[in-house]
Chains A and B, each alone.
Chain A
Amino acid sequence: MFGIRRPLRLVAGAVLVAASLALGACAQPPTPSDDPTSNGSQIVIDTTFDIKTADPGREYEPTGQIVVKALYDTLLTFADNDSTKVIPDLATYEASADLTEFTFTLVQGRVFSDGLPVTADDVVFSLQRLQGLKGNPSFLLDGVTVTKVDDQTVKLTTEQPNPALPSILATPSAGILNSTVVKSHGGAIDETDQAEEFLNSTSAGSGPYTLQRLDIASEAVLVKNPQYNGSQRPTYDTVILRNVEPATQKMNVERGESQVALGLSGDQVTSLSSSVKLTSTPSATVVFLLINADPAISTLTSNPQFVQAVKSAIDYAALVDLAGAGAGQATSLIPTQFLGTLPTSQALTFDLEQAKAAATAAGANGQTVTLSFPNDIDPTGLPLVNVAQKIQAQLAAAGITVDLAPAPFATEIDAYRDGKEQIGLWYWNPDYMDPANYLAFGPGQTVGLRSGWKADANPAIADLVTQGYTTGDLAQRKALFEAWGLAMNAESPFVPLLQPASNVVSQPSVTNVYYNPVWIINVAGLGRA
């Protein structure tokens, strides 16, 4: 026997079915609501929580970014509807011609939530603390030296030319803390820092909101910062972020129990009630295939003709269809929100005949390759197992036999990072809003090496990568990254597949709903009709 006592065996069988019945019954027709906002000055946002802390120097999770973005202003930022160009927030900046020195001049008069002015000391403390904590986001400022010039001026010096630095400073992790308050609660610029607990109970920033309460498992409550004197005009006095399962989020927002739902998948939004508004855009998450270029891993996948076969065997439109409303094909590894992304016309295309010919030429017939992927993770509501099965069927049509090897994320990530996968199905979330982030896919770079792609394998692309890291001019960068994207599409062992949808469902009364690749949503920017 299997350890289940007899009466239980029947019960257990029944429970499986009863559960599926009960779950099915939950899909009742939605109740339309007339008045969405019961309290005019409060907004309830439902999301699936991924937050460990509200300490800017330590947080690096999606929900954490939403919260920290509202609490801490950064030196620079992006407008809600344009994520290609940095704009001033707490400071304006000038970069030296060689892109190694960045001088920031603080905007006059900005204050923290306790009324103290924002000074250069606060900036130096916050950025050095971000580096010194050695937390998840610390890598953002690797190789950067922060020095105070005078009370209003701070200089950042980088070892290498770093055109991405302004974008990096716009990520919520680079938020500026009130150094006086944080130091008095154990704050320090190295690992002896004790301020995390304090920063989880209250906030010490100059952002439009302050933290009233944070429970990382259930709820975050933000209230308007009365001292705030920045450029934004927050509409809602109180912002409540709740941890809610996606299916419940859908019901809540349809019934008016919440005003915004952030976690609905492409399939869930297809059956939305007409009483709510859907803002559906491709997310900045790029789902891609990695085809190992290392002959030691597979002599078949390392054959360039095999890579070509895979690239033309995939029916990209069918994959996008699978991802549901709002998804789009990834035209290159650089998503559509970024500088240097490619137009749709230059994306990879499906050509079955060409794929069959290339597969035969590569000798794929009669061989089986393994497609590995994490099966317990759904980037923005799209289960990778569905994508993998679709790809398996599409490659089979071109004569490529694929064996699926699903594994838990925690075990598969090692095989991926060590470059042990024959074909891998993964996704990339941007760390900051600059295309330089994607140069990691280049030959000899971090992700490139995961597919066994060494620097000398493609000197032309390697050269573009070097230029990408050192070119500062906006127009030149755009052309450069487009060239890089095209070359990567043609010759790299990576196949950009799709950008799953980012669906923000809101009450019609909520305006200015914009998806941001890094901080998901700017709660201070939300308006009311």
Chain B
Amino acid sequence: MSEPPSDLTQTPPTPVPAAADRRPTVAPASPASPDPVSLLGRPRRRRLWRAIPKAWRTPLGLVAGVVAVAWLVIAVVGPSIVPHDPLAQDLPRFQPPSSTAWLGTDELGRDVFSRVIAGARVTILLSLLLVCLSMLIGSILGVVAGFFGRWVDEVIMRLTDLVMAFPTVILAMVTAAALGASLLNAVLAALVVSWPSYARVVRSMVLSLRTSEFVASGRLLGFSPVRSMRVDILPNVAGPTLVMASLDIGTAALLLSGLSFLGLGAKPPMPEWGSMVATAVQNFDKWWLGLFPGLAILTVVMAFNFLGDALRDQLDPGATKA
């Protein structure tokens, strides 16, 4: 396979650790560009504002950042700040939102607000876990495939073809059904379908890096394949892979909620947004049952997607904005 000239191969001119070149310097914003809040005028605020990397200084990036951070905080401290025990069935059933139960109560008299808050930990932490795992597995396999080429490449790439040929949700459903319904199995099921895209992207980057001069000179200096991969290749693929991963968190959250919605993820009585929406479908005249977990999914997915966009603009300024 002949590589088309790519900016990746051109960027590192010398065997100097290439990551330094790829890592964008946090450039101070040019004074000419008016920032949305620079009208505030106070120097201290302006300094704070400038401390935010430029790519993040868009309304969407800001809102997304705030929402995502808020959800992360809720995921960490949530269970200790809920007004009710999310599992306690001690309130009247099907109460609409009121001062005692802010978001109403569900079919068993549990507080919906507490369950939405408690559900953040389940969904967000598992999504992060899933994305980290698929990035790790996908990247390792991708680097190996790209670096060694030949039959190793063939085997790994045909494996990705195999997995990618299946419809994502169906394959995840089959895996979850075979392993039994539980959240960990849902993560495993989602992992099965999510690593190939990382393997593909990383492999293509490695293919173009492999022939570049700084890698070749490293090998000529006597670097072992493992050292070459670690020192010369990995730092160059890390950035784009991270961008991809951040864009994937929202999708992961959606896939995990989807599996729970289908009864293949969270086991009752665990508070989980997807299964809460599933119960709401059975009682759809009780609007509060589905609206709030649905909003939670929506905000998490959108926040992490915009966050991913901002991260991409920062790490990969050459790419055109979506």
Q: Which residues of A contact B (CB under 8 A)?
A: 1-4, 6, 9-10, 12-14, 16-17, 19-21, 23-27, 247, 267-268, 271, 321-322, 375-376, 378, 383, 385-386, 388-390, 392-393, 404-408, 411
Stretch at the interface among B111-119, B189-197, B207-215: B189-197
Contact of A1 among B88, B194, B280 (CB under 8 A): B194
A10-B268 contact, Cβ under 8 Å, with A17-B297, A267-B283: no
A24-B301 contact, Cβ under 8 Å, with A2-B168, A12-B254: no
Q: Say yes or no: A27 contacts B285, CB within 8 Å.
A: yes
Residues from chain B with Cβ under 8 Å of A375 in the complex: 263
Nearest opposing residue in chain A for B255, CB measure: A2
Q: Which residues of B contact A (CB under 8 A)?
A: 87-89, 93-94, 107-108, 164, 167-168, 177, 180-181, 190, 193-194, 197, 244, 247-248, 250-252, 254-255, 257, 263, 267-269, 277, 279-287, 290-291, 294-295, 297-298, 301-302, 305, 322
Q: Say yes or no: A267 contacts B94, CB within 8 Å.
A: yes
Q: Say yes or no: A10 contacts B267, CB within 8 Å.
A: no
Per the bound structure, the CA–CA distance linking A300 and B83 in Å amounts to: 36
Nearest opposing residue in chain A for B107, CB measure: A386
- Interface class of chain A by DSSP: helix
Q: Say yes or no: B193 contacts A3, CB within 8 Å.
A: yes
Nearest opposing residue in chain B for A12, CB measure: B254
Per the bound structure, the CA–CA distance linking A26 and B280 in Å amounts to: 13
Per the bound structure, the CA–CA distance linking A406 and B260 in Å amounts to: 12
Q: Say yes or no: A386 contacts B108, CB within 8 Å.
A: yes
A59 to chain B, nearest CB (A): 28
Residues from chain A with Cβ under 8 Å of B254 in the complex: 2, 4, 9, 12-13, 16
Contact of B294 among A17, A322, A390, A406 (CB under 8 A): A17
Residues from chain B with Cβ under 8 Å of A385 in the complex: 268
Q: Say yes or no: B89 contacts A390, CB within 8 Å.
A: yes
Nearest opposing residue in chain A for B163, CB measure: A3
Q: Say yes or no: A405 contacts B267, CB within 8 Å.
A: yes
A10-B305 contact, Cβ under 8 Å, with A2-B252, A393-B89: yes
Nearest opposing residue in chain B for A271, CB measure: B285
Residues from chain A with Cβ under 8 Å of B87 in the complex: 393
A2-B194 contact, Cβ under 8 Å, with A267-B107, A375-B263: yes
A13-B284 contact, Cβ under 8 Å, with A3-B167, A404-B269: no
Contact of B277 among A12, A20, A26, A383 (CB under 8 A): A20
Q: Say yes or no: A4 contacts B251, CB within 8 Å.
A: yes
B286 to chain A, nearest CB (A): 8
Per the bound structure, the CA–CA distance linking A247 and B280 in Å amounts to: 13
Q: Say yes or no: B164 contacts A24, CB within 8 Å.
A: no
Residues from chain B with Cβ under 8 Å of A16 in the complex: 254, 257, 277, 294, 297-298
Q: Say yes or no: A23 contacts B290, CB within 8 Å.
A: yes
Nearest opposing residue in chain A for B250, CB measure: A9
Contact of B164 among A3, A21, A386, A393 (CB under 8 A): A3
A465 to chain B, nearest CB (A): 36
B176 to chain A, nearest CB (A): 11
Q: Say yes or no: B268 contacts A6, CB within 8 Å.
A: no
Q: Give the 4 A-B CB pairs with smallest separation, nearest first.
A: A24-B287, A20-B290, A27-B285, A3-B168
Per the bound structure, the CA–CA distance linking A436 and B244 in Å amounts to: 65
Q: Say yes or no: B298 contacts A1, CB within 8 Å.
A: no
Nearest opposing residue in chain B for A396, CB measure: B87
Q: Say yes or no: B269 contacts A23, CB within 8 Å.
A: no
Q: Say yes or no: B285 contacts A247, CB within 8 Å.
A: yes
Residues from chain B with Cβ under 8 Å of A411 in the complex: 177
Residues from chain B with Cβ under 8 Å of A2 in the complex: 168, 190, 193-194, 197, 248, 251-252, 254-255
Per the bound structure, the CA–CA distance linking A392 and B108 in Å amounts to: 12
Residues from chain A with Cβ under 8 Å of B280 in the complex: 20, 23
Q: Say yes or no: A23 contacts B251, CB within 8 Å.
A: no
Residues from chain A with Cβ under 8 Å of B248 in the complex: 1-2
Contact of B291 among A3, A21, A388, A404 (CB under 8 A): A21
Nearest opposing residue in chain B for A324, CB measure: B93
Per the bound structure, the CA–CA distance linking A4 and B168 in Å amounts to: 8
